[in-house]
Amino acid sequence: KAGVTQTPRYLIKTRGQQVTLSCSPISGHRSVSWYQQTPGQGLQFLFEYFSETQRNKGNFPGRFSGRQFSNSRSEMNVSTLELGDSALYLCASSLEDSKKLFFGSGTQLSVL
């Protein structure tokens, strides 16, 4: 069974731009979560989607948004990029109501 796939693997953007990251969950997993990892703050929860609905949201500004499609694939968008948005963005999928998350390898975003 294929794992969680995230694209692109690396991304370089400049301040003020926007970016869209993509995540394909494990087949059969309907829950998709997004996390941000930085050296200073560690892994922080962004949001969770289940059946195309945002089920939970972390403490991030409105510039961070996401969506989930009917095939459970998910995208997250960051608008008006700031230098502090440079991070590894991790997507995770899970079976319904399971906290056992399966993570992708992440998208490394660098904002210059």
Partner 1 sequence: DQQVKQNSPSLSVQEGRISILNCDYTNSMFDYFLWYKKYPAEGPTFLISISSIKDKNEDGRFTVFLNKSAKHLSLHIVPSQPGDSAVYFCAASVNQAGTALIFGKGTTLSVSS
Name which of 23 and 78 has its Cβ closer to partner 1: 23
**Torsion angle (degrees, nearest 10) of CA 44, 85, 38, 103:** 60
Asked if residue 4 lies in contact with residue 103, where contact means CB atoms within 8 angstroms, the answer is yes
> Taking the complex as a whole, how short is the minimal distance between the CB of residue 112 and partner 1, in angstroms?
22
Binding site for partner 1 (CB under 8 A): 4, 31, 33, 35, 42-45, 48, 50, 55-56, 58, 90, 92, 94, 98-106
CA 81 – CA 2 distance, rounded (Å): 31
Name which of 9 and 15 has its Cβ closer to partner 1: 9
Give the number of other CB atoms < 10 A from CB of residue 99.
8
> Taking the complex as a whole, how short is the minimal distance between the CB of residue 17 and partner 1, in angstroms?
25
